[in-house]
Amino acid sequence: MIRLAPSILSADFSCLGEQVGIIEKAGAHVIHIDVMDGHFVPNISYGATVMKSLCGKTKLPFDVHLMIENPDRYIADFVTDQTEFIVVHQEACPHLHRTIQYIKSFGVKAGVAINPGTSLSTLDFILEEVDLVLVMSVNPGFGGQKYIPSALAKVEALKQIKELHSLNYEIEIDGGINLENVKTVTDAGVELVVAGSSVFGAEDIDARVKEFLKIFEQ
Ligand code: DX5
Ligand code: ZN
C-alpha cells in the first residue's frame, strides 16, 4: 500500500489543527513532522511541542524527520502513542547502529534518511536493522524546492536490495514531490510519499490530497 504523508512544514501554523483536520478527512495516511535545528540544516522549524499539540486532535500517525545534530539527545521527546516512525540522518549519526536501536527501544519504528549527495552504500550495514529508508530528493532545510532526479536510482536500488535479501524496510521519498512526478517514484518502489508545498500550498488542500490518492490507485 502506498501512503501519503503531507509535511506540515508548509501548513499555515495559525490554523494548524484545522489544516490537519482537512488532510485527515481527505484521506491522507500519515503526518510528516520536519524538525530542523539550524545546525544540521540551515533553517529552524519547530520542535516536539508543536507535534504534541496535535496528539489526540488527529488520529493520524506521526512520521518524525529529525534534521538535527545529535538526534539521540531529543529522540525521547518525540515518542508518543501516535509516533509511528522516528527518522534520523545518516550524516548526523556517527553511531548510527546504536541510534537505530535506541529508537526501537521505545517501541517506535526506526528510519534512516540520506541526503542527495550521500551514497546508498553508506547504509549497507544498517538496512537489516531499519524499518524505513528515507531518500531525500532535495537538500534538506526548506520546503518548496525542486525535485532532484538522481533520487530515483536510489529508490530503485533500495527496492532491489529489499527483494533480494527479503528485508522489511519501507521506502520513503521527501522533497519536491508533486502530481507530475509522484507516479514515477511510486512505480520505482516508494511506499511513503512526503508532500509539503504541493499539498498545503494548494488552493484546495482537500482536493489536492484526493488527487494524490487517485494517482496511487493507478
Ligand atoms: C525538506 C523537508 C521536506 C519538505 C518537503 O527539508 O524534509 O519534508 O517539507 O517539502 P516539499 O514537498 O515542498 O518539497
Ligand atoms: Zn521531511
Range of the domain at 140: 3-216
User: Is 34 a catalytic site residue?
Assistant: yes
| pLDDT recorded at residue 190 | 98
Q: In sequence order, what DSSP letters do the residues of 57-70 get, joined into one string?
A: TB-PPEEEEEESSS
- C-alpha to C-alpha distance for 196 and 170, rounded to whole angstroms: 20
What pTM did the predictor assign? 0.98
What's CA 12's distance to the chain center, in Å?
A: 19
Give the number of domains in the chain: 1
Which residue's alpha carbon is at the smallest distance from atom 9 of ligand 1?
143
**Which one from 37, 63, 131, 174 is the annotated catalytic residue?**
174
CATH of the domain at 186: 3.20.20.70
User: Is 81 a catalytic site residue?
Assistant: no
| pLDDT recorded at residue 191 | 98
Gap from CA of 27 to ligand 2 centroid (Å) = 20
Q: In sequence order, what DSSP letters do the residues of 107-153 get, joined into one string?
A: T-EEEEEE-TTS-GGGGTTTTTT-SEEEEESS-TT-SSPPP-TTHHH
| pLDDT recorded at residue 192 | 99
| pLDDT recorded at residue 218 | 94
Divide the 218 residues of the chain into consecutive groups of 10 and give the mean pLDDT of each group.
Answer: 98 98 98 98 98 98 99 98 99 98 98 98 98 99 98 98 98 98 98 98 98 97
